[in-house]
Amino acid sequence: MLVYTAKRIVLAILVALTISMLVFSLLYLSGDPATALAGESATSDDIEKIRQAYGFDRPVWVQYLSWLGNAAQGEFGNSLYFRLPVWELILERLPTTMTLGVSAMTFAIVLSIPLGVLAAMFPNSLIDRTALFMAVVGQAMPSFWFALMLIVLFAFTWPVLPASGSDTWRHFVLPTIVLGYYATPAFMRLTRTGMLDVLSSDYIRTARAKGLRPWTVLFKHALRNAIIPVVSLAAVQFGFMLGGSVIIETVFALHGAGFLAWESISRSDFPTVQAILLLFSLLYIVLTFLADLLNAWLDPRIRVG
């Protein structure tokens, strides 16, 4: 287990470094950053001053290392738009995004795992078909369109929930449904196929031959094995959700980091965009790492050599 954990940590660090390079290079994606920063009416003198003030005149790898060193301390410089430290901006908005992410993930799991299990227990039954239908619809429907439909239905036709803002828990209901529903088809399908596979396995027959109760067979012997791929998927899906939060927070005007990312992109606020990208990527890496650990705990074949 120790060796396994150490390997995963090294891997996570390598991935994080790669991503940091990509994020750093974003700055150069739109051409010369000094020119972009200086604005349209700037003279070449102004641009040169900015180049020196921001250190853009140094070799790229020096710039990267100093940027990385600062980033490691949470220092991303000031937002070009707000003229405030980027980390302050993000810290203020991160709770909203995390609340949305966690509640959407919870919603997705609570909806899809029981449905997936039931669909596998009664293949081709009504419940299986309903679950399949939901999955197909969920995959076919663009999330912004789904969001607009929900807003029309529950904020205007029956005004039971607010359409925008992030002040109370009620503001989170519709965004949670949209963002969470988006992840359910994959969870449901994976749970269903996993359970079907496991339920027809020899060790389930053994468990039944021992006279174990259906409940024990299902939850102790089957689900634990079927859930292993779902755990890995959950980490990936959470990453997608963070990405999706950019759209969802914008549609619902939730003041989270996703919304901030959207605004900062349209304002060319590079330091802020970089910081959010890096943060989301790191979150994703940490979650993948945790999923690996959880899987190792669930599956002794990973954990015990």
Partner 1 sequence: MTEPAGFSLDVENLTVSIPLAAGTLRAVRGISFRVNQGETLCIVGESGCGKSLTSLALMGLLPAKAVRGADRLTLNGVDLTALSERQMSDVRGESMAMIFQEPMTSLNPAYTIGNQLEEALRRHRPVSRAEARERAIHLLEKVGITAAASRLQQYPHQLSGGLRQRVMIAMALMCGPDLLICDEPTTALDVTIQAQILHLLRDLQREFHMAIILITHDLGVVARMADRVAVMYAGEIVETGTAAEVFAAPSHPYTKGLLQCIPIPGRTKRGEHLGSIPGVVPSLIGEIAGCAFANRCPHAADACRSEPPARDLGPGRMVRCVLEPGAVPQMEPA
Which residues contact partner 1 (rule: CB under 8 A)?
201-203, 205-214, 216, 220-221, 224-225, 298-301, 304
Distance of closest approach, residue 129 Cβ to partner 1, in angstroms: 18
Is the CB of 106 or the CB of 200 nearer to partner 1?
200
Is the CB of 170 or the CB of 213 nearer to partner 1?
213
Distance of closest approach, residue 212 Cβ to partner 1, in angstroms: 6
Distance of closest approach, residue 163 Cβ to partner 1, in angstroms: 46
Cα 34 to chain centroid, rounded: 32
Is the CB of 55 or the CB of 300 nearer to partner 1?
300
**Up-side HSE of residue 33: CA atoms within 13 Å toward CB?**
21
Cα 22 to chain centroid, rounded: 18
User: Among 194, 186, 183, 180, which residue's Cα sits nearest to residue 227?
Assistant: 194
Amino acid at 111: L
Q: Maximum distance among all alpha carbons in the chain? A: 85
Whole-number Å distance between alpha carbons of 88 and 245:
20
Distance of closest approach, residue 127 Cβ to partner 1, in angstroms: 16
Distance of closest approach, residue 119 Cβ to partner 1, in angstroms: 15
Distance of closest approach, residue 196 Cβ to partner 1, in angstroms: 12
Distances (CA, A) of 9 to 18, 223, 273, 288, 289: 14, 28, 26, 11, 7
3-state secondary structure 40-90: CCCCHHHHHHHHHHCCCCCCHHHHHHHHHHHHHCCCCCECCCCCCEHHHHH
Is the CB of 109 or the CB of 207 nearer to partner 1?
207
Distance of closest approach, residue 123 Cβ to partner 1, in angstroms: 10
Is the CB of 155 or the CB of 196 nearer to partner 1?
196
Is the CB of 61 or the CB of 215 nearer to partner 1?
215
Phi, then psi, of 123 in degrees rounded to 5: -60, 140
Distances (CA, A) of 300 to 125, 154, 168, 245: 34, 47, 43, 35
Q: Are 272 and 260 in contact (CB under 8 A)?
A: yes
Is the CB of 51 or the CB of 221 nearer to partner 1?
221
Distance of closest approach, residue 202 Cβ to partner 1, in angstroms: 4
Is the CB of 46 or the CB of 299 nearer to partner 1?
299
